[in-house]
């Protein structure tokens, strides 16, 4: 090999190495911001708490295939006041939460073909953040202890997301 060919070959190898490294880090960044159902498997189980002078009960299944399903039931004075049905479905960007609300009698509050949709933003150990499609609300699911699960609701105030505990649940054996 001539001196020029050695130099060109060395430059090509360096370029390919930088390209491969850049691609690796870009893919690692995408993987870091893409979630999976494993990020929310801490929801699994039955949970119960108090809300608005009544009780609230929730249950989520363990991940199976590309989904997790669950429900919330609110009861006051021995009568159902609201049901919520959830389906967390795996997408390319992470879990997507589809939520439908029903009054007693299974009367839908949303139109037949419509559900509230929340997109995965990020997860930490025992915590996941979702944002509603219209960007009006963020929800944090957080298992604070082995036997306590909290759903926090966030609103954008003064260009900062402010969260408050919406539902606090204790595990039901």
pLDDT digits (tens, 9 = 90+) for 45-76: 999 999 999 999 999 999 999 999 999 999 99
Which of the two residues, 1 and 105, has the higher pLDDT score?
A: 105
Whole-number pLDDT of residue 6: 55
pLDDT at 18 over 80: no
Show Cβ contacts of residue 88 under 8 Å, excluding neighbours closer than 6 positions: 37, 40, 67, 68, 69, 70, 95, 96, 97, 98
pTM flag (> 0.85): no
Q: How far is CA 61 from the centre of its chain?
A: 14
Q: How much is the average pLDDT of 132-153?
A: 97
Give domain limits for the chain. 37-172
Q: Give residue 103's pLDDT.
A: 97
Lowest mean pLDDT among 21-25, 36-40, 114-118: 21-25
What is the average pLDDT value for the chain, to the nearest integer? Answer: 87
Q: For 117-126, write each residue's pLDDT tens digit.
A: 999 999 999 9
Q: What is the mean pLDDT of the segment spanning 73-85?
A: 98
* Contact predicate 43/60, CB 8 Å: yes
The pLDDT tens digits of the residues spanning 33-50 come to 589 999 999 999 999 999
Secondary element (H or E) of residue 32? helix 3-33
Give me the CATH code for the 37-172 domain, please.
2.40.128.20
Q: What is the pLDDT of residue 93?
A: 87
- The whole-number average pLDDT for the span 74-86 is 97
What is residue 23's predicted lDDT score, i.e. its pLDDT? 41
């Amino acid at each position: 090999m001539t001196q020029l060919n050695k130099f060109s070959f060395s430059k090509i190898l360096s370029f390919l190495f930088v390209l491969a490294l850049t691609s690796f880090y870009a893919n690692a960044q995408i993987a870091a911001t893409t979630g999976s159902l494993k990020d929310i498997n801490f929801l699994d189980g039955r949970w119960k708490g108090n809300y608005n002078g009544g009780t609230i009960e929730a249950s989520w299944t363990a991940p199976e295939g590309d989904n997790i399903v669950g429900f919330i039931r609110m009861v006051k004075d021995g009568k159902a006041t609201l049901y919520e049905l959830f389906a967390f479905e795996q997408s390319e960007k992470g879990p997507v939460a589809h939520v439908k609300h029903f009054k007693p009698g299974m009367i839908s509050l949303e139109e037949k073909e419509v559900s509230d949709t929340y997109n995965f933003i990020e997860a930490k150990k025992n915590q996941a953040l979702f944002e509603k499609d219209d960007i009006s609300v963020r929800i944090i699911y957080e298992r604070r202890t082995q036997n306590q699960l909290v759903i926090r609701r966030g609103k954008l105030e003064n260009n900062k997301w402010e969260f408050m505990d919406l539902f606090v649940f204790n595990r039901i054996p």
